[in-house]
Structure 1
Amino acid sequence: MKLYYSPGACSLSPHIALLEAGLPYELVKVDVRAKKLENGDDYLKINPKGQVPALGLDSGEVVTEGPVIVQMIADRAAATKNLAPARDTVERYKLQEWLNFITTELHKNFSPLFQPAIPDEAKTFFRDRLMGKFKYIDSQLAGRDYLMGKQFTVADGYLYTMLRWADGHKMDLSGFPNLMAYKARVAARPKVQEAVAKEAQKAA
């Protein structure tokens, strides 16, 4: 498999998932502004959306959209890892609920903060919305190690990526003790550290 990624982007989430799953993969860096690969190839020929992540399968097919990709990764490692509850269970739908919440309520509210053309007043609005979403997550993490309870899942890699974005935008989450403890717990995982280190090395 090939993971098309950009350092610092949301593609960190499936990168973490691949390492946690122990699946073989090739890391392919994408310049999302120029829509080019490192070798100069046109990324739009691989993913016409022009965004990361994208996962190139050995069959030649390409799967896009982070919440879908991470579930595919979890399912491919289901025999040896427990990165997602079994299909067709209530717990699996709960995982999808978290993935949908992160992608719509966190990820998309961060998007305007990356746009230089958007006025500061508008960015303040989105920052305040994000703080409200983080407050909700903090309440849900009470008594839990991870979003689904005691077990790390692919949703945790996605939320951790959003928390790194919050750091990048200097958002003060210190008032959310459950969330801060959670962030430290996820950051301490060896495979999470490996993903972050690999992308930092590639970005240098």
Structure 2
Amino acid sequence: MSLALYGHPFSSYTQKVLIALYENGTPFEFRCISPETPQHSAEWLRRWPLRKFPLLVDGERDVVETSIIIEYLQHVHPGPVRLLPADPMAALDVRFLDRFFDLHVMNPVQDAVAGALTGDAVKRQEGLALSKEKLERAYAWLEGQLPGRTWAAGTEFTLADCAAAPSLFYADWTHRISESFPVLRAYRARLLARPSFARAVDEARYFRPYFPLGAPDRD
């Protein structure tokens, strides 16, 4: 049985894994979770009742949580692009940055999205205000970390960049990265130009009208 990935193309965490798969040209079957594919949803929930995606299926093995999926792919289905360095300390730096983008960039975006999805104007504004406060701190920290680096951890594209790409993509839609963060803005632009992420962005383009905060007419 070939690899199968359950998820949705507009999902940031699905995109994170798609980037890793595209980077290495890893063959897989994408099984979109949507009302139009109830068979995929049923199988996904049977395998992972916690209702989180993406889910990677490799034969009889189910692999969940994006960072674990990407590390699993490197161990079991390696390709030419090594997304976690062989050196333990360098790998630790990459894992830290991966966690930073998930926890301190993507999570605040999800707070704002969750507030908007309630349909309550007050909760929408509260979610946005909290998100903007957290994102501004994250942007400032990243601006100080990225000078001299092509990618998040240095010269090589890694797991950290797989996390950064969708995180910064949607974060900029939620609270625009201002001109006072030129290094971070340039890094986001490099991520958008990376073929693996550009492909993921294009595959999700159809779903932009569903972004609850309103998708800007850019990217």
State whether TM-score is above 0.5. Answer: yes
Q: Tell me if the contact between 1:21 and 1:73 (Cα under 8 Å) persists in the aligned partners.
A: no
Question: What do you get for the CA RMSD once the two structures are aligned?
Answer: 2.4
Unmatched segments (≥5 aa) in structure 1: none
Counterpart residue identity of residue 63, structure 1: V
Q: Give the secondary structure class of the aligned counterpart of 1:27.
A: strand
Q: Tell me if the contact between 1:29 and 1:37 (Cα under 8 Å) persists in the aligned partners.
A: yes
The alpha carbon displacement at 1:40 in A equals: 6.1
Alignment-derived partner of residue 50 in structure 1: 51
1:25 and 1:203, CA in 2 relative to 1: closer, same or farther beyond 3 A? farther
Superposed CA deviations along residues 48-82 of structure 1, whole A, max 9, x for unmatched, are 1212111111x222111111112222334546222
Counterpart residue identity of residue 67, structure 1: S
Alignment-derived partner of residue 100 in structure 1: 99
Mapping 1:124-135, distance limit 5 Å: 124-135=129-140
Q: Tell me if the contact between 1:4 and 1:28 (Cα under 8 Å) persists in the aligned partners.
A: yes
The alpha carbon displacement at 1:181 in A equals: 0.9
1:4 and 1:173, CA in 2 relative to 1: closer, same or farther beyond 3 A? farther
Mapping 1:129-148, distance limit 5 Å: 129-148=134-153
Superposed CA deviations along residues 4-26 of structure 1, whole A, max 9, x for unmatched, are 12132121010011000121111
Q: Tell me if the contact between 2:5 and 2:56 (Cα under 8 Å) persists in the aligned partners.
A: yes
The alpha carbon displacement at 1:147 in A equals: 0.9
Alignment-derived partner of residue 155 in structure 1: 160
In 2, Cα distance between the equivalents of 1:195 and 1:16?
A: 7
Unmatched segments (≥5 aa) in structure 2: 210-219
1:93 and 1:39, CA in 2 relative to 1: closer, same or farther beyond 3 A? same
The alpha carbon displacement at 1:154 in A equals: 2.0
1:177 and 1:75, CA in 2 relative to 1: closer, same or farther beyond 3 A? farther
The alpha carbon displacement at 1:191 in A equals: 2.1
In 1, Cα distance between the equivalents of 2:202 and 2:131?
A: 29
Counterpart residue identity of residue 19, structure 1: Y
In 1, Cα distance between the equivalents of 2:127 and 2:170?
A: 18
Alignment-derived partner of residue 13 in structure 1: 16
Instruction: Say how many residue pairs are matched.
Output: 199
Aligned-pair identity in percent equals 24
1:132 and 1:163, CA in 2 relative to 1: closer, same or farther beyond 3 A? same
Alignment-derived partner of residue 217 in structure 2: none
Superposed CA deviations along residues 103-145 of structure 1, whole A, max 9, x for unmatched, are 2222222221112333413430222111111211121111100
Superposed CA deviations along residues 170-202 of structure 1, whole A, max 9, x for unmatched, are 523332111111111121122222222233368
In 2, Cα distance between the equivalents of 1:179 and 1:159?
A: 11
TM-score with structure 1 setting the length: 0.86
Between 1:114-123 and 1:10-19, the stretch displaced more is: 114-123
In 2, Cα distance between the equivalents of 1:128 and 1:76?
A: 40
Q: Give the secondary structure class of the aligned counterpart of 2:5.
A: strand
TM-score with structure 2 setting the length: 0.81
Alignment-derived partner of residue 29 in structure 1: 32
Q: Tell me if the contact between 1:21 and 1:83 (Cα under 8 Å) persists in the aligned partners.
A: no
